[in-house]
Amino acid sequence: MALQNDFEVITALKKIPDPRVQGRTSYKLYEVLFVTLCGVVAGCDSWVEIEEFAVERLDWFRKFIPLEAGAPSHDTLGRVVSLLGAEEFVEFMISWSRHLQETTNGQIVAIDGKTLRRSFDKAAGQKALHVVSAWAVDNAVVLGQVATDAKSNEITAIPKLLDLIDVNGSVVTIDAMGTQKDIAAKIVQRGGDYVLALKENHPTLLAAVRKLFIDVEDGIRPDLVPRRIRRVERSHGRKEVREYVVIEVPDDLVGRKEWKGLKSLGMVCREREVDGETSVQIEYYLISLPPKVKAFARAVRKHWGVENSLHWTLDVTFSEDGSRIRKGNAPETAAILRRMAVSMLKQDTQDKRSLRIRRKLAGWNTDYLERIIFGLQGN
């Protein structure tokens, strides 16, 4: 007997509008999507693999959905998903993620983009898809995504994403591409705070901030009191020293009033020693929080982690960079399914096994698959 919770994923899938002509279909839309989602969680990386999984697990699937016509073919799976409106499926993803996460004041929401390198289709004139995702770091949940066809379009994609998700009480972290005045203003307007990386796309402001920190270190600006902490990590023959420094924004900072909510400036100095060679990297940040160095350090460190906890996982565990799903809206919908699968697999915090092993277990053991799909915690 299937175990249920108060947010039934199948019930939610049934609410997604079906773009096909009704009365001429062998499968309901929710059936195709449920089979696909389960297949992705269970280690399938192509439509053919999902078809084979559905054939092998047909009796298990029929505990939850009719599948009167048997397991859908890979052609059916690919065709139906390519027709699905991406916006409607994003709405499903956002509704699901709101239920899954426990929102806490000050939670870190890392917004970052990733290109699906093999999603291009030269014959159709389709460029590789670039997906901008919002990742609730502590809850390990993708809150939403917006797709575009170029990394440079992150500037337009991020405001759309902020309109979709709830950032009230959250600290939003974004790389330099998204460090824009309008984006900072939208975060504040929606009740959030920001920690934005500052680089050469704002040369005048960057030069002014860099000079401020130099003047503070040289004692030229006694009115600015730096708050700092130092962290040292050693691992596999590598040593990394990170120093985090924050200061209050001075009234004379060029363009200060153009950045809504700006209260602090941050600097991170990273010194790495690998095999006897040392490298130094200095980064600067615009911050809407008061000058509290521990909060700043936490936000920066959490944002760096999105590469490992989400992007690296998508490539290494889900083979996203190698995916050749290209037709219609399928690349974007498949990207949503992978991100949902990552979130589902990470929810059982008591399970210390790798996500690669968890995917395999979901394919081998239907009891474990039910735990993942229906959000059940293991004993």
CA nearest to 246, candidates 231, 232, 267: 267
CA nearest to 160, candidates 137, 140, 173, 178: 178
Q: What pTM value is reported for the model? A: 0.87
Q: Last residue of a domain, which of 273, 300, 315? A: 315
4 has a pLDDT exceeding 60: no
Q: What is the reported pLDDT for 228?
A: 96
Name the domain count of the chain: 2
Q: What is the reported pLDDT for 154?
A: 82
CA nearest to 176, candidates 286, 69, 100, 273: 286
Q: What is the pLDDT of residues 137-190, one digit of tens each?
A: 988 888 988 887 665 678 889 999 999 999 999 999 999 989 999 999 999 999
Q: Last residue of a domain, which of 315, 330, 363? A: 315
In a domain, 328, yes or no: no
pLDDT classification of 261: cutoffs 50, 70, 90? very high
CA nearest to 226, candidates 255, 247, 203: 247
Q: Are residues 68 and 125 in the same domain?
A: no
Q: Are residues 147 and 287 in the same domain?
A: yes
Amino acid of residue 33:
L
2 has a pLDDT exceeding 50: no
Q: Are residues 277 and 139 in the same domain?
A: yes
Residues 22, 83, 9, 53, CA torsion sign: positive
Q: Pick the more confident residue, 84 or 178.
A: 178
1 has a pLDDT exceeding 70: no
In a domain, 263, yes or no: yes
Q: Reduced to 3 states, what is the DSSP secondary structure of residue 19?
A: coil
Tell me how far apart the alpha carbons of residues 375 and 126 are, in angstroms, rounded to a whole number: 36
Q: Are residues 193 and 224 in the same domain?
A: yes
Per-residue three-class SS string for 153-218 = HHHHHHHHHHHHCCCCCCEEEECHHHCCHHHHHHHHHCCCEEEEEECCCCHHHHHHHHHHHHHHHC
In a 10 Å sphere around its CB, with 0-12 CB exposed, 13-18 middle and 19+ buried, how is residue 265 labelled?
buried
Q: Are residues 76 and 120 in the same domain?
A: no
Tell me how far apart the alpha carbons of residues 164 and 143 are, in angstroms, rounded to a whole number: 9
Q: What is the pLDDT of residues 32-68, one digit of tens each?
A: 999 999 999 999 999 999 999 999 999 999 999 999 9
Tell me how far apart the alpha carbons of residues 358 and 183 are, in angstroms, rounded to a whole number: 37
pLDDT classification of 124: cutoffs 50, 70, 90? low
Residues 19, 22, 27, 31, CA torsion sign: positive
Please provide the average confidence, as pLDDT, over all residues in the chain.
87
Give one word for 56, left, alpha or beta, with left for phi > 0 and alpha for psi -120 to 50: alpha
Q: Pick the more confident residue, 249 or 10.
A: 249
Tell me how far apart the alpha carbons of residues 43 and 40 are, in angstroms, rounded to a whole number: 6
Tell me how far apart the alpha carbons of residues 117 and 58 are, in angstroms, rounded to a whole number: 33
In a domain, 48, yes or no: yes
> What are 267's strand-pairing partners?
245, 284
Q: Are residues 113 and 236 in the same domain?
A: yes
Q: Are residues 157 and 305 in the same domain?
A: yes
Tokens read off for 346: 């990470």
Tell me how far apart the alpha carbons of residues 293 and 204 are, in angstroms, rounded to a whole number: 25
Q: Reduced to 3 states, what is the DSSP secondary structure of residue 233?
A: strand
| Domain extent at residue 19 | 9-84+348-373
242 has a pLDDT exceeding 80: yes
